[in-house]
Amino acid sequence: MFDGVRDAAAIIKAMGAGKAIVFGSSGGAIIALELAAAIPKAIDFLIVHEAPVIELLPETDAEWWRSFVHDIYTKSQQDGWQAALYDFMASLINVSDVPYPPDLNARVEDDSEFFFKHELKAFAGYLPDIESIRNNNISMVVAVGRDSDNAYYVQASNVLAVKLGCKNIEFPGHHDVSFWMPEEFANAIRQTIEQHGHHKTK
């Protein structure tokens, strides 16, 4: 189990509500899927946004992306995470190459070295426990970005939704929509929660 899963469950418990509406995007979506499999009582409703579950792709495609991950992981260790970040960002469809605002950029830089060293390979090798998630009767949807086209994480999300038997809905923007379209992104989350019969958010 990812440390992030234990952390998420501990935060939900500390909030005192027993369970929570959970949103996870990209690597966070993988943590959310593992939370749904391992600690379902912590989840009231789940939105999984563009989970990069490579292992659900057809084998030829999965093998290509395994090699890609191996190569950029190796580059990050040999040449530094900054060198690997360029290749990684190039794999994200229609994501803006305009620099982040300074305060956000500083936070992203602080996290990037840890991501390449500890998280990238773990996320890329993750295979969700479909049977457990289904048996746990998790109320959930999968979401993909309108501008993400046919990116590998969209293809993987499409397979995921079919296997889980849940709705696959469209969100605005691309993979990093929260950075560039925060208001539209927040509204999409709010509307999804309300449309699926959960508590209205303010």
- pLDDT tens per residue across span 85-97: 889 989 999 887 7
Beta bridge partners of 47: 23, 141
Q: What average pLDDT does the segment 3-28 reach? A: 92
Same domain, 64 and 119: yes
Same domain, 7 and 86: no
Same domain, 64 and 142: no
pLDDT level of residue 199 (50, 70, 90 thresholds): low
Q: What average pLDDT does the segment 105-126 reach? A: 89
Where a domain ends, among 106, 124, 142? 124
For residue 102, is it within any domain? Answer: yes
pLDDT level of residue 1 (50, 70, 90 thresholds): low
User: For all residues of the chain together, what is the average pLDDT?
Assistant: 91
Same domain, 108 and 88: yes
pLDDT level of residue 109 (50, 70, 90 thresholds): confident
For residue 200, is it within any domain? Answer: no
Q: By residue range, what is the domain housing residue 48?
A: 3-57+127-195
Chain centre distance of CA 98: 22
Number of domains in the chain: 2
Q: What average pLDDT does the segment 160-182 reach? A: 91
Same domain, 47 and 143: yes
pLDDT level of residue 25 (50, 70, 90 thresholds): very high
CATH number at residue 27: 3.40.50.1820
